[in-house]
Homo-oligomer: A and B are copies of this chain.
């Protein structure tokens, strides 16, 4: 059905799970469906009117997302015409990704904070920017990152920090001063 589905192997530069993630939620509309689901939408006709997707495409995507274990499909007891779609734990686990993307759009595309605002229900304050963190919670930038090979990482926990074995530093990859 899809061409993407065949590319799972042969990725130069090591094993990466990104293509496998994209295989499942990389399709157009999937994130929009996810967002609607997050907003409490659970029925076919509601997804339809909330998202503005075509009927057949929605049917297809929901089927796929159920197959992928991102959502469950359950006919309603009280009204047997209706079906309820719900996020699974796997689907809920896509939230950080979706929110990161939304925050990026806010910052760089619209420039305007989206409304309503996603908040912490404990203190009712807006949630923070999604960021990369070190194991000790320091916020990391792209320039703070490097790739280290699995094998090397294990050896490194013997305490002898050898800096020359870093696989690749990421300090010089982006533009130095970009808009």
Which residues of A come within 8 Å of B, CB atoms?
4, 7, 10-28, 31-32, 35, 37-40, 42, 49-50, 52, 69, 72, 86-110, 112-128, 130-138, 140, 142, 144-150, 153, 156, 161, 166-170, 173-175, 178-179
Partner of A40 from B31, B104, B173 at Cβ < 8 Å = B173
CB pairs A–B below 8 angstroms (30 shown): A17-B102, A17-B106, A19-B105, A21-B102, A22-B101, A22-B105, A37-B173, A42-B173, A87-B173, A88-B175, A90-B179, A91-B178, A92-B142, A93-B104, A93-B108, A95-B132, A96-B132, A97-B100, A116-B147, A116-B148, A116-B150, A118-B145, A119-B145, A120-B135, A121-B145, A121-B170, A122-B144, A124-B161, A127-B145, A128-B134
Interface-central residue, A4, A14, A146, by most chain B CB under 10 Å: A146
Q: Is the CB of A87 within 8 A of B175?
A: yes
Which residues of B are found within 8 Å of A31, using beta-carbon distances?
18, 22, 26
Partner of A119 from B18, B20, B42, B153 at Cβ < 8 Å = B153
- Rounded to whole angstroms, the CA-CA distance of A138 and B178 in the bound complex is 32
- Rounded to whole angstroms, the CA-CA distance of A15 and B40 in the bound complex is 16
Which residues of B are found within 8 Å of A69, using beta-carbon distances?
108, 179
Asked if A88 meets B10 with Cβ closer than 8 Å, knowing A20-B110, A121-B146, A144-B121, the reply is: no
